[in-house]
Amino acid sequence: MQNLNAQKHEEERLDMVETQIAQRGIKSELVLGAMQKVPRHMFVPANLESIAYYDRPLPIGYDQTISQPYIVAFMSEALDINTGDKILEIGTGSGYQAAVLAEMGMEVWTIEIVPELAKMAQKNLEEAGYSQVNVKCGNGFKGWPDQAPFDAIILTAAPKEIPQTLVEQLITGGTMILPVGPVYSIQKLIKVTKKEKGIKQKTLLPVRFVPMIKSYL
């Protein structure tokens, strides 16, 4: 039965990448290859395993979600990263985006503000074979200064404006992909490139993410 389930999930992953991602314009072989391999069903609640590869975000508890596969792929490609780059993720969630980045060959550092999710993500990542990902529970607005600078930063929760603290933790020439906008409304997915002086911004597409918060009670 386990072998049958593994085969079924592999077929679902390949179909997901072909129909939801490649056919919609994602061209990075690094991204496509990673998403063919990362077992998304291991990063969703057990009762949602049968729909893990559907073209939609899914709830993971604590008012948080795992992003739609296409958005994960789009953001990963937009980072313009190379194997071996050091990446900071804000908003670990269940750990799926971090696993994709790790499968792409990145050195991943990820912060989750909800303690229960941080523990869940650590467990999911270890069980899926990505124990090299560095996970901590903390305030994403502060970043991870002890490990800065980073080649790229990705946010999977939306602040109302670009956090300057995170910009400061990017290398010059580094990129940050993040949703920016009001709580529970349409936001803009923005690509930030850090320059010698200031930043360059480019709006990529409209999105809807959970809000980025400074504390969790």
Q: What is the dihedral of CA 208, 89, 176, 166, to 10 degrees?
A: 110
CA distance from start to end of the chain: 42
pTM greater than 0.75: yes
Query: Domains, the chain, ranges and CATH?
Result: 2-207 (3.40.50.150)
pLDDT at position 213, please?
Answer: 84
Q: Which residues contact 30 (CB under 8 A, 6 or more apart)?
A: 83, 104, 105
pLDDT at position 3, please?
Answer: 63
CB 61 within 8 A of CB 116: yes
Catalytically active residues are 67
Residues of the chain with pLDDT under 70: 1-4, 216-217
3-class state of residue 80 by DSSP? coil
pLDDT at position 103, please?
Answer: 98
Burial 152-173 (b: 16+ CB within 10 A, else e): bbbbbbbbeebbeebbebbeee
